[in-house]
Amino acid sequence: MIAYGFLPFSAYVISDFIFFHRNRSISFDVLVRQVRFTGVEALGLVVLIAMLIGALIIVQGYPLLAAIGQGNWIYDILISTIVRDLGPFIVCFIVLARSGTAITTELGNMVVSKEIDALISMGVSPISYLVAPRVLGMVISLVLLMSYFVACGIFGGYLVSNAFQSIPVSTFFARLIGELHWLDIVIMLVKVALSGLFISLISSYHGLTVNRAITEVPQRNIKAVGRGLISLCLIHVGLTLLYIVMVGN
């Protein structure tokens, strides 16, 4: 389906992505469906995992820190784990495994069933109509899911912390905010936004590179997940190193 490589494909999509409001070929319905599927329907799973991680951090970490008289370090650990490092990676991995594979499968099936050819014959760009709104929807959805994850992870940590020490809500969040740096929020948002961009681009590219056989769809899914996971690791490790350098300076 696609006669050019991943980089030209990405440049084409990003140009549509930037001028989203000007391109009449872009489907707003596809955007809404992508946000609903990725950012709303995955909410229950993300909330559950966030609360479990927040609770486990307190259960495992607080007794050890309290034993050496450093109980306040738990706030820094919560921020590092939930906001800056582990949280964004978990949310992005869930989206890759759930929504990334769905995009590859859907677009691959559309190629096989000649729906893409039908769009082209009507003068509609399949990249503008199908891919650009998915890219924008994925980025929006990941930012929303990450917000849910942070809120629920911290709330889960607060609930469990009361089993060890009764802390008023105002005190708990005042201490937490006192340890939170603006750079933590920036790094978190950049991680999920870049991850959403690459997940959607990689998944869409592999979906549209299916040729004519339905058996290619699972093969493309495997490649999309593998390369998507590599991109996630590179993005998150690179931005974490950047954070360390910026804080060190």
What pTM was estimated for this model as a whole?
Answer: 0.89
How deeply is 139 buried, as exposed, middle or buried, from its count of CB atoms within 10 A (0-12, 13-18, 19+)? buried
Cα gap 106→111, rounded to integer Å = 9
pLDDT of 23 = 59
pLDDT of 59 = 82
pLDDT of 27 = 67
Cα gap 88→80, rounded to integer Å = 11
Is a pLDDT exceeding 60 seen at residue 3?
A: no
Residue entry with tokens 């020490």: 165
* Cα atoms in the Cβ-side hemisphere of radius 13 Å centred on 226: 7
Q: With contact defined as beta carbons under 8 Å apart, do 83 and 55 qualify?
A: no
- The contacts of residue 234 (CB under 8 Å, 6+ apart) are none
| Average pLDDT of span 29-42 | 87
Q: With contact defined as beta carbons under 8 Å apart, do 199 and 136 qualify?
A: no
Is a pLDDT exceeding 90 seen at residue 247?
A: no
Cα gap 57→77, rounded to integer Å = 8
Is a pLDDT exceeding 90 seen at residue 116?
A: no
| Average pLDDT of span 100-122 | 89
pLDDT digits (tens, 9 = 90+) for 13-29: 888 777 665 656 566 78
Indicate the SS3 state at residue 249: coil
pLDDT digits (tens, 9 = 90+) for 118-159: 888 887 788 888 888 899 899 999 999 999 999 998 888 888
Mean pLDDT value across the chain: 86
pLDDT digits (tens, 9 = 90+) for 196-246: 999 999 999 999 988 877 888 889 999 999 999 999 999 999 999 999 888
Indicate the SS3 state at residue 106: helix
How deeply is 24 buried, as exposed, middle or buried, from its count of CB atoms within 10 A (0-12, 13-18, 19+)? exposed
pLDDT of 25 = 57
SS (H, E, C) 18-72: HCCCCCCCCCHHHHHHHHHHHHHCCHHHHHHHHHHHHHHHHHHHHHHHHHCCCCC
pLDDT of 237 = 94
pLDDT of 18 = 73
pLDDT digits (tens, 9 = 90+) for 85-105: 889 999 999 999 999 999 999
